Amino acid sequence: MSIGHTLLGLLESGPQHGYNLKRAFDDSFGHDRPLHYGQVYSTMSRLLKNGLVEVDGMEAGGGPERKRYAITEAGITDVGRWLAQPEKPEPYLQSTLYTKVVISLLTGRSAADLLDTQRAEHLRLMRVLTERKRGGDLSDQLICDHALFHLEADLRWLELTAARLGKLAEEVRR
């Protein structure tokens, strides 16, 4: 995820302080990985340097002065370009799981046990996500659905690989 573009997008609704940007980010996108304040302020500093935001005002608070940031026309254009650019699909052609299966076969360990253990971990996580989805708002439901669909694809791969272990063992041991 592009933190800078996300913060720029949040600024399109109006000028905000770094603290409010962090809260808005965490509320919408940071359920599992909230931003650190340092990350917000270093990103805002970079966006300011690149002319994508400007300081819209300074306010005195209980501590140091607080900057209020506003998006510039260049920032709006940059967000528009980012939104129009499709994300690169991640085909997982070099998966750690596949590597573990091959190494298990090469070293005489049980790849079937590895696949069973991985299947159990995928199912455990799917139960957690399904429960989270039941109690979540629409954003949480959509995020959980995305993860669940990927986990389902992984489970299909685990089953297919388990069915082909004998043939794969022959190939990797040549």
Q: Which residue has the higher pLDDT, 94 or 77?
A: 77
Long-range contacts of the stretch 90-98 (C-beta < 8 A, 24+): 97/154, 98/161
pLDDT tens, 18-51?
999 999 998 888 777 889 999 999 999 999 999 9
What is the DSSP annotation of 70-130? EE-HHHHHHHHHHHHSPPPP---TT-HHHHHHHHHHHTT--HHHHHHHHHHHHHHHHHHHH
